[in-house]
Amino acid sequence: MTSVLLVEDEFLIRAVVVDALDGLNIACIEAPSGQKAIEVIDSDVPLSVIIVDIGLPDISGERVIATALERRPGVPVICCSGAGPSAVTENPQIHVVAKPYSAVQLAKFVASLVKSD
């Protein structure tokens, strides 16, 4: 079974998104920091989708996304950002979701990406 990696430093946002994904029977690995995310990306854990918040406290979300694109080619990346576009978010392999977002809508979008695997 593959999982979704959720990279989000804010506990409440993580909890709501995990709950929405769980409601659609989608397993989720939580990473509260960029460093933890890179550890998961570098592991052998199968991933269907990677969701990354741009504003992380330790490593920029853009760096996590760049690492994901390099080390997990073909895995869709969803960038969640309250800021404007950047060089990373303009990459056609990345789906951008503007903050604030609906956790339920995000989960449904993730489900559509997982089903297209």
Give pLDDT, residue 88: 60
Over residues 13-35, the mean pLDDT reads 96
d(CA 11, CA 17): 10
Among residues 92, 107, 88, 83, the alpha carbon closest in space to that of 14 is found at 107
Total domains present in the chain: 1
Greater pLDDT, 100 or 6 = 6
* Contact of 52 with 26, CB cutoff 8 Å: no
* Contact of 113 with 77, CB cutoff 8 Å: no
Give pLDDT, residue 89: 56
pTM of the entire predicted model:
0.92
Domain that holds residue 36: 3-115
pLDDT per residue as tens digits for the range 40-70:
999 999 999 999 999 899 999 999 999 999 9
List the CATH number of the domain containing 19: 3.40.50.2300
Q: Which of 21-35, 53-67, 72-86 has the lowest mean pLDDT?
A: 72-86
Give pLDDT, residue 45: 95
How high does pLDDT run on average in the chain? 90
